[in-house]
Amino acid sequence: MILPGKKHVRLYQEAFARATERNEGDLAVDLLPAVLSALVVLIIGFACAVKTFEAINPRLSYPAQPIALDSNGNGIDRGIWFSLSAPGPNIVVTTDDQKIFEWPLDPLKVLQSKGYTDFKDYLKDRRRLVIENLILSMDHEGIEAKSRAVVAVDEHLTYAHFKPIMLALSGAGIRSYGFETRSDGD
């Protein structure tokens, strides 16, 4: 058996000392490029996932933006139009004859608010005017066509926010209603 000489032992000890000294240094400096690369890959992956979700869900790609247009005439013979949005802490309903009704976002507080009861009364009055005009004009079109409601709903509102509107429409006797949106795409 050959025993290492003093020279080989000394070289081994020096190499071992250099290796332990190198490993005792700041390891974070060595890992910094790897952590930054992983972070960039994670951000790019998240952006791709969001874009893929937007491509699959067309409701996110084209937000509803109701158009406000001025109209001629009294508007009784063309139905009822109003928009429903939540620009702040309240739901705001704007009608085609420039009336504004407002109530809280919380669906539990809606039915007790003054703005909601005023809106219900407004719908009943509009329906009554439509029926009176149909009787006086002897129009052959039905009441449903003349009292149809078109609602432009903000895309950020949920079904719970629209339930009071449906309740008000049914309370006024309006059974025919539709939704209006505008897309900037196709």
Query: Percent of the chain scored above 70 by pLDDT?
Result: 69
Highest mean pLDDT, choosing among 10-14, 41-45, 67-71: 41-45
pLDDT in tens, 26-35: 665 667 788 8
Which position has the token pair 């939540």? 86
Q: Answer whether residue 44 shows pLDDT above 90.
A: yes
pLDDT in tens, 81-124: 888 888 778 888 988 888 899 988 887 788 888 999 999 999 99
Instruction: Provide the greatest CA pair distance for the chain.
Output: 124
Going by pLDDT thresholds of 50, 70 and 90, the confidence category of residue 145 is: low
* Element spanning 70, H or E: none
Which position has the token pair 């928009």? 83
pLDDT at 41: 94
Q: Answer whether residue 153 shows pLDDT above 70.
A: yes
Going by pLDDT thresholds of 50, 70 and 90, the confidence category of residue 1 is: very low
Contact 106, 115 (CB under 8 A): no
The model's pTM is 0.54
The torsion angles phi and psi of 128, rounded to 5 degrees, stand at -65, -40
Residue 68's nearest CA partner among 81, 87, 77, 59 is: 81
Residue 174's nearest CA partner among 155, 154, 151, 157 is: 151
Q: Answer whether residue 45 shows pLDDT above 80.
A: yes
Highest mean pLDDT, choosing among 61-70, 135-144, 147-156: 147-156
Helix-, strand-, coil-residue percentages of the chain, each rounded to 5: 50, 15, 35
Q: Answer whether residue 183 shows pLDDT above 50.
A: no
Higher pLDDT, 119 or 140: 119
Pairing type for strands 100-104 and 90-95 reads antiparallel
Higher pLDDT, 61 or 162: 162
What is the mean pLDDT of the segment spanning 37-52? Answer: 89
Q: Answer whether residue 173 shows pLDDT above 70.
A: yes
Strand order across the 177-180 sheet: 100-104, 90-95, 80-85, 149-153, 177-180
